[in-house]
Amino acid sequence: MSTGISAVRALSLTQLDQLNSGVSLPRYRRDALGPGIVHFGPGNFHRVHQAVYLDALMNTGQDLDWGVVGASVMPGDKALRQTLLAQDLLTTVVAQSASDRNARVIAPMIDYLPVADSTAILSALVDPQIRIVSLTVTEGGYFIDSETGRFNDQHPAIQADVNNPLEPKTVFGLIVRALALRHEQGVGPFTVMSCDNLPHNGGVTRAAVLGMAQLLASAIADWIELNVSFPNGMVDRIAPATGDRERQLVRDEYGIADNAPVFCENYLQWVLEDKFVAGRPALEKVGVQFVEDVTPYETMKVRILNGGHALIAYAAGLMDIEFGSDAMQEPLIRQFLGRVEREEILPIVPPVPNTDLSAYLGLILTRFANPRIGDTVRRLCFDGSNRQPKFIVPTVRDQLANGGSVDGLALACALWCRYCYGTTESGTEIEPNDPSWDRLKRVAAESKTRPVAWLEMRDVYGDLSECEHFAARFVAALDSLWQDGTRVTLGQYLGR
């Protein structure tokens, strides 16, 4: 709905009080904030999730000493830093339901350090005012060995930090060096909090930090193990990439010239273990759930939501469907998602406190169908080599252990394989969409004549290629995709 904007104003601190009255503004002064958090990776998800919670808390007049200092180690983030600095580190967040949208300007970020500048980042991390170091570095940014599931201490980037420990370049090298300096200077430790979407993210982060520390000095590793906390957390909000469409909409609807707005769904959830060695903001006052054990919540979310995205993504990609909400309008895909969720995923999701899993699934289906989100199928398909082992394979293993059906999950794996062949069913080329795209494309081509080759990627499937029951269903599904196509194969599955 148009708001009748008569003038467009650049987003800046000096222009805040002149923005359209339909936009919610910070109720705190930015110059009243002090640093409390260094956050690695202040991209879209951070700004619609952690930053939104902090903004809401600061709007109550509380915890103004928990301002966010942004940090990045990836050179590609330089453009984002320049953009945000040019607009005083403000962001317009547009939350959308199927029928409504609302905008708010948030301001909890007080600085964005020079990108990949070890000196500047270490200086911030050693500051005693910093009590939490948080991360949104994507599932693939934790240097996990794909075959062992452990920290990969032989990764070239990690070894480069080992050889130059005083000027580390990785997030974990910087964290370890900063903790060592704080220890030497008598400054207390900080909490390291992952905000990434992966199971047991705190445990994974702990393994990476300790693994890095053990390569550098066992003494500091022992100190970190005893003194630093790594809370697990479950994060949830769908936030697609920002493009010209979103920037133009913010101008047209709200009269704001924001070069880095973020659009998201109106749903928001964060469940955290309350393990913070140096204090934390009172985020429970703005909706964050603090629990003793986050495992049931993250298992629910990873298997139902993230697994659900994997179920619709590759079928939609092969059908040349552009957006996730449009995929939900395709009856075959919607019914495939619903059936696999109800028959193969929900039965092995452990109980979650005060949560009806069927109702949660209903909420997920509604969220997926939200037409305002603009979440692209390509984004949902991205990085399957990291996501499939976390979102699909554990469910397969549990279903096999329980003697349950894996027909739909096998078809989901086959759809991913067919997608990685590199062409849609119309013959359109699929641009590289995975850090391991060349390898996936090669194995997918081999799998056209020898399907089990796909399951032999042990870093993804472990020993599942040796499970005759699962392998037979995967082979049948992939053969059908090649012979009959996606629509017929989905129809055959649904007709069983």
Is the confidence at residue 59, as pLDDT, over 80? yes
In the three-class reduction of DSSP (H, G, I as helix; E, B as strand; rest coil), residue 67 is classed as: strand
CB neighbour class for 303 (10 Å; exposed up to 12, middle 13-18, buried from 19): buried
Quote the CA–CA distance of 22 and 269 in Å, as a whole number: 25
Task: Quickly state the pLDDT bin for 377 (edges 50, 70, 90).
Answer: very high
Is the confidence at residue 130, as pLDDT, over 70? yes
User: For the residues 29-58, what does the mean pLDDT come to?
Assistant: 98
Residue keyed to tokens 């080329």: 429
DSSP codes, 118-153 = HHHHHHHHH-TT--EEEE---GGGG-B-TTT-SB-T
411-446 per-position pLDDT tens digit = 999 999 999 999 999 999 999 999 999 999 999 999
Beta strands 256-257 and 262-265 are: unpaired
Which one, of 365, 372, 374, lies nearest residue 334 by Cα?
A: 365
Looking at residue 202, what is its pLDDT? Answer: 97
- CA distances for 415 relative to 132, 304, 305, 320, 379, angstroms: 41, 18, 18, 13, 16
Is the confidence at residue 217, as pLDDT, over 90? no
Quote the CA–CA distance of 181 and 415 in Å, as a whole number: 49
Looking at residue 23, what is its pLDDT? Answer: 96
Number of helical H runs and strand E runs in the chain = 23, 14
Task: Quickly state the pLDDT bin for 199 (edges 50, 70, 90).
Answer: confident
**With respect to CATH, is domain 9-291 assigned 3.40.50.720?**
yes
Alpha helices in 25-89 (DSSP H): 44-48, 50-58, 78-86
- The rounded mean pLDDT for the chain is 95
User: For the residues 94-108, what does the mean pLDDT come to?
Assistant: 94
CB-based contacts of 262, cutoff 8 Å, min separation 6: 44, 47, 48, 91, 92, 93, 94, 239, 242, 246
Is the confidence at residue 2, as pLDDT, over 70? no
Quote the CA–CA distance of 30 and 400 in Å, as a whole number: 54
In the three-class reduction of DSSP (H, G, I as helix; E, B as strand; rest coil), residue 70 is classed as: strand
Looking at residue 4, what is its pLDDT? Answer: 55
Contact present, 300 and 269 (Cβ < 8 Å): no
Task: Quickly state the pLDDT bin for 15 (edges 50, 70, 90).
Answer: very high
- CA distances for 65 relative to 16, 149, 161, 328, angstroms: 22, 37, 32, 43
In the three-class reduction of DSSP (H, G, I as helix; E, B as strand; rest coil), residue 495 is classed as: helix
Domain spans, the chain = 9-291, 295-495
354-370 per-position pLDDT tens digit = 999 999 999 999 999 99
Residue keyed to tokens 């909890």: 108
Contact present, 310 and 264 (Cβ < 8 Å): no
Is the confidence at residue 1, as pLDDT, over 50? no
Quote the CA–CA distance of 285 and 283 in Å, as a whole number: 5
User: For the residues 331-348, what does the mean pLDDT come to?
Assistant: 98
User: For the residues 170-185, what does the mean pLDDT come to?
Assistant: 97
CB-based contacts of 139, cutoff 8 Å, min separation 6: 196, 197, 198, 383, 386, 387, 390
Looking at residue 6, what is its pLDDT? Answer: 65
Is the confidence at residue 5, as pLDDT, over 90? no
Is the confidence at residue 239, as pLDDT, over 70? yes
Quote the CA–CA distance of 264 and 378 in Å, as a whole number: 17
Q: Worst-scoring range by mean pLDDT, 9-13, 138-142, 288-292?
A: 138-142
CA 151 to chain centre: 19
Beta strands 262-265 and 91-96 are: parallel
**With respect to CATH, is domain 295-495 assigned 2.50.20.10?**
no
User: For the residues 267-292, what does the mean pLDDT come to?
Assistant: 97
Task: Please tell me what DSSP assigns to residue 99.
Answer: S
Quote the CA–CA distance of 302 and 60 in Å, as a whole number: 32
Is the confidence at residue 396, as pLDDT, over 60? yes
